[in-house]
Amino acid sequence: MMTHSPSAPVTAYNWQTPPHNRWAFWNVREILPVQRIHRAPAASVLESADTLPGLSTITLSDVDGQLTTVAAVLGATDTDAFAVSREGAVLSEWYRPGGSADRPHAVMSITKSMVGWVAGALRERGELDADRLITAYVPELSASGYAGARVRDVADMRSGIQFNEEYVNPDSEIRKLGDWLGWYPDSPAENAPGLYRFVANLTADSPHGGPFVYRSCESDVLGWVCERAGGRPMAELLSEHLWSVIGAEHDADLLCDRLGTALHNGGASVTARDLLRFGSALLPSPQAPSWLRAAWAVDADHRAAFAASTAEAAMPGGWYRDQFWFRPGPQGDVLLGLGIYGQLLYVNRRSRTVCAKFSSWPVPQDPVRLQNTLRACDAVSVVLECSAATGTSAARPVRSPRSLF
């Protein structure tokens, strides 16, 4: 347990910036308003196994072509926690001092994937139709740029909304969003009308259903639609349709604006083990819901939409669907949940490997750190696949929470 905060005050203004974020990401509920996502009545069991060697022994080539190890990559990417599971067993787990297995950590835009799961669950129940217009669920958006957009357009981030996602640009929409949430103590209430008023004021600059463009506002609109279709706030929907389903062991937190509206695009804080549980539920299986099986099976339309985007350079051959990233890797396709400052959920369907990484990067986005982290997860996955194929077990046991490196 963390027993003290940093010497300098951590506030709504600086909680995401270094060095404050290293403490703040483990303690979001002490800084900002949150709602609780209640854990499952009975947690699913995560066993421990000894099929993964020490991460300092697993090698890979980084983006510069240099030979390195998984442990070295984790050390160089401001890792707060790292955990690996396969077939319901935790194979490796480590927490930076100040964090622990029972403390939730901010996962930023992995929240989008959690909302995507809720949308999928509502579709399976017949409560949400991906081909209906957004305004059929949220008529308040009829005068906005979202008029004429379908639910699937926002689920796949293919609306025509004008939205700049540049985190370091003070004039971008993603930066302006913070002014509408009412978190800042010196912001008068009339100047912070809330998240939903913000998205209702967005305009479109291209037709809906076009190329993939990563826009956080799409997740906020999708969350609003889910709340209307499901008849309850997002925290309650997540508790019923996700946290209870995966057997989450701990309550999670969900940031909200001053009016109590959930921040669907990046407000969740969860534990590493519960993130592993989420990842395991995303693996394809005969029992998987139809929407998830469809998301894993890329089609020409989604592939073309991604190929026409700037994201293609970072994930060639990939696609984005239902609030999840899909990336071809050395072992086939991998599902990803990604969040700024280095949050990662990695799901490899061939090796059945799930990796969860919490981080406190000094910058919101860093392509080199991300690519090296993905290569490290690929290397772990290859080792586990080889181990499963040969039926062998590594000589070393699971690392203790303080001896991973």
> Does the annotation count 109 as an active-site position?
yes
> What is the DSSP track for 98-139?
TB-TTS-EEEETHHHHHHHHHHHHHHHTTS--TTSBHHHH-G
User: Which residue is catalytic, options 92, 109, 159, 387?
Assistant: 109
Distance CA 359, CA 380 (A): 18
Greatest Cα pair distance, the chain, in angstroms, is: 64
In this structure, are residues 236 and 252 in contact, taking their beta carbons and an 8 Å threshold?
no
In this structure, are residues 336 and 109 in contact, taking their beta carbons and an 8 Å threshold?
no
Distance CA 291, CA 309 (A): 23
Distance CA 291, CA 230 (A): 17
In this structure, are residues 44 and 87 in contact, taking their beta carbons and an 8 Å threshold?
no
Residue 342's closest CA among 82, 78, 159?
78
- Residue 140 has a CB neighbour count (10 Å cut-off) of 15
- Residues forming the active site: 109
